[in-house]
Amino acid sequence: MPRVKIDEHRSYPFSTDLKVRVSDLNYGAHLGYDSILGLVHQARVEMFDGMGVTEIDLGDGRTGLVAADLVVTYQGEAFVNDVLEIAILPMEVGPISFRLAYRVRHAKNGKSVALMEIGFAAFDYEKRCLARLPDVFKDGLVSMGADG
C-alpha cells in the first residue's frame, strides 16, 4: 500500500506540552487516530494566543479560518498520562491560505508519535466566503519563520 510521506523539518518555532487524557484513548488503549487532532488543535490555539489572535479573529475583527486539508503520518504510540511535545511550523503563507506542519513526539524521550500538515484558508464568517489573510496575521506567521 502506498503511503503519504511528510518530511520532518529542522526546526519548529512553537511548541507546547500536552498530556494524553483517558478520553483520548481508543479500544487499543492508546492515543486514538482521531484524538490527535484535538491535541494539535489545542496546540494551535495556544500558538495563536501567543500571537494575540484567535481562529475566528485573525487580527482584523472579521476574518477567521477554515481547514482545507489534513495529512497525518502515524509513527508511534502514546498512552494515558504521556506528555507529548507538539511543535508547529507555519509554511506556505499566501494571500488567502497557509499550512501548519506539526511534529508530535514524547516530551520525555523524543520518540515520534506523528507528523502532520494542515492547510487553512481565511474565511469571512459574516459573508460566508473565503477572504484574504489579514496582514497582521501574515506578518506574525512570517516572523515565526514561515515562507511568505
Q: Compute the distance between CA of residue 15 and CA of residue 102 in angstroms, rounded to an integer.
A: 9
Per-residue pLDDT tens for 67-112?
Answer: 999 999 999 999 999 999 999 999 999 999 999 999 999 999 999 9
Cα-based distances in Å from 138 to 32, 34, 88, 109, 144: 33, 29, 15, 34, 10
> Which residue's entry shows cell 477572504?
131
Q: Report yes or no on whether pTM surpasses 0.85.
A: yes
**Nearest residue to 130 (alpha-carbon basis) of 138, 139, 121:** 121
> Which residue's entry shows cell 507529548?
84
Q: What single-letter DSSP state applies at residue 23?
A: G
Q: Compute the distance between CA of residue 60 and CA of residue 18 in angstroms, rounded to an integer.
A: 29
The residue ranges of every structural domain in the chain are 14-143
> Which residue's entry shows cell 508519535?
113
CATH number of 14-143: 3.10.129.10
What mean pLDDT do residues 13-35 have?
A: 96
What mean pLDDT do residues 6-19 have?
A: 96
Element (H, E) at 83: strand 83-91
Going along the chain, which residue ranges are E strands? 14-19, 63-74, 83-91, 97-106, 112-124, 129-130
- Look at residue 2 and tell me whether its pLDDT is greater than 90: no
